[in-house]
Structure 1
Amino acid sequence: MARRSTVQRDPRIAGDPELSAYPDFPDDPDLDRVPARRRGTPRNRWSGGGGRWLVWAGRAVLWALIIVIVVNGVRAPFERLTQPNTPAGTAPVAGEGFPTVPGSAFAAQFAEVYLNFDGARLEERESRLAPYLPEGVESQFGWDGLGRMSAGAVQPYGIEVVDAENAVVTVAYQSEDRRQLLSVPIYHDRSAKRFVVAGRPGILPAPGAADLPPKPAPDRDRAAEQELRPSLEGFFKAYAASDTASLRLYADAGTTLEGFSGALTFLQLKDLSVPLPAGSTRQVTATVSWGVPAKTPTSDEPEPADPGQMGGKLEQAYLLTMVKQGDKWFVKDIRGAYRSVAG
Structure 2
Amino acid sequence: MKNPLKFKSKTPMKAKFIKIGKYVFWIFVILTFIRGINSYFKHNEVDAKVTNEIPYIISGAAQGFASAFATDYLTFNSQDTEEYSKRLAPYLSYGLKGDIPIDTNKDTQLTVNHANVVDLKQINNKRADIYIKVDIEARNVDSSVLQDQVGVNNDKVRNAKIVRYLQVPIEYEDNKLFVYDYPTFVNRTPETKGETAKIPDFPSVDGRLKETIEKMTTDFFKTYSSGSSSQLAVYMLNNQELQGYEGVLNFESLDNIQVIDFQKTKNTDTKTNSDVNEVLVYTTTSWIDPLTNMTSKQHHTFIYKYENDRWLIKQFSGGYKEWRK
TM range (shorter): 0.5 to 0.7
Q: Residue type of the partner of 1:268? A: S
- In 1, Cα distance between the equivalents of 2:296 and 2:79? 37
Cα 1:174/1:100, change in 2 over 3 Å: closer
TM-aligned CA deviation for residue 259 of structure 1: 0.9
1:255 maps onto 2:237 in alignment: no
- Cα deviation, 1:26-54, whole Å, max 9, x if unaligned, reads xxxxxxxxxxxxxxxxxxxxxxxxxxxxx
Name the structure 1 match of 2:295.
Answer: 313
**Percent identity over the alignment?**
21
Q: Residue type of the partner of 1:158? A: L
- State which of 288, 293, 300 in structure 2 corresponds to 1:291: 288
- In 2, Cα distance between the equivalents of 1:249 and 1:130? 60
- In 1, Cα distance between the equivalents of 2:290 and 2:196? 36
What is the RMSD computed on CA atoms of the aligned residues?
Answer: 4.4
1:272 maps onto 2:257 in alignment: yes
1:203 maps onto 2:165 in alignment: no
1:337 maps onto 2:319 in alignment: yes
1:167 maps onto 2:124 in alignment: no
TM-aligned CA deviation for residue 257 of structure 1: 0.6
SS, match of residue 275 in structure 1: strand
- In 2, Cα distance between the equivalents of 1:134 and 1:269? 56
Cα 1:160/1:320, change in 2 over 3 Å: same
Q: Which runs of 5+ in 1 are unaligned?
A: 1-80, 87-91, 295-309
Name the structure 2 match of 1:185.
Answer: 170
- In 2, Cα distance between the equivalents of 1:268 and 1:315? 10
Name the structure 1 match of 2:73.
Answer: 114
TM-aligned CA deviation for residue 261 of structure 1: 1.9
SS, match of residue 210 in structure 2: helix
SS, match of residue 247 in structure 2: coil
- Cα deviation, 1:228-267, whole Å, max 9, x if unaligned, reads 1221122112212242332121011052211112111112
- In 2, Cα distance between the equivalents of 1:177 and 1:217? 43
TM-score where L is the length of structure 2: 0.56
Name the structure 2 match of 1:137.
Answer: 97
Q: Higher helix fraction: Structure 1 or Structure 2?
A: 2
- In 2, Cα distance between the equivalents of 1:281 and 1:126? 65
- In 2, Cα distance between the equivalents of 1:273 and 1:122? 61
TM-aligned CA deviation for residue 108 of structure 1: 2.9
CA contact (8 A) 1:105 1:156 kept: no
Cα 1:159/1:211, change in 2 over 3 Å: closer
TM-aligned CA deviation for residue 208 of structure 1: 1.4
CA contact (8 A) 1:179 1:206 kept: no
- In 2, Cα distance between the equivalents of 1:211 and 1:99? 25
SS, match of residue 222 in structure 1: coil
Name the structure 2 match of 1:103.
Answer: 62
- In 1, Cα distance between the equivalents of 2:197 and 2:163? 26
Q: Which runs of 5+ in 2 are unaligned?
A: 1-43, 136-160, 265-272
Name the structure 1 match of 2:206.
Answer: 222
CA contact (8 A) 2:100 2:182 kept: no
CA contact (8 A) 2:58 2:128 kept: no
CA contact (8 A) 1:156 1:169 kept: no
TM-score where L is the length of structure 1: 0.54
Q: Residue type of the partner of 1:171? A: Y
CA contact (8 A) 2:232 2:242 kept: yes
Cα 1:160/1:314, change in 2 over 3 Å: closer
Cα 1:115/1:326, change in 2 over 3 Å: farther
SS, match of residue 253 in structure 1: helix
CA contact (8 A) 1:283 1:321 kept: yes
- In 2, Cα distance between the equivalents of 1:285 and 1:314? 17
1:281 maps onto 2:278 in alignment: yes
- In 1, Cα distance between the equivalents of 2:315 and 2:98? 55
- In 2, Cα distance between the equivalents of 1:287 and 1:240? 15
- In 1, Cα distance between the equivalents of 2:84 and 2:293? 36
Name the structure 2 match of 1:78.
Answer: none
Cα 1:217/1:181, change in 2 over 3 Å: farther
TM-aligned CA deviation for residue 118 of structure 1: 7.2
SS, match of residue 246 in structure 2: coil
SS, match of residue 231 in structure 1: helix
CA contact (8 A) 2:289 2:295 kept: yes
Name the structure 1 match of 2:151.
Answer: none
- State which of 315, 322, 332 in structure 1 corresponds to 2:304: 322
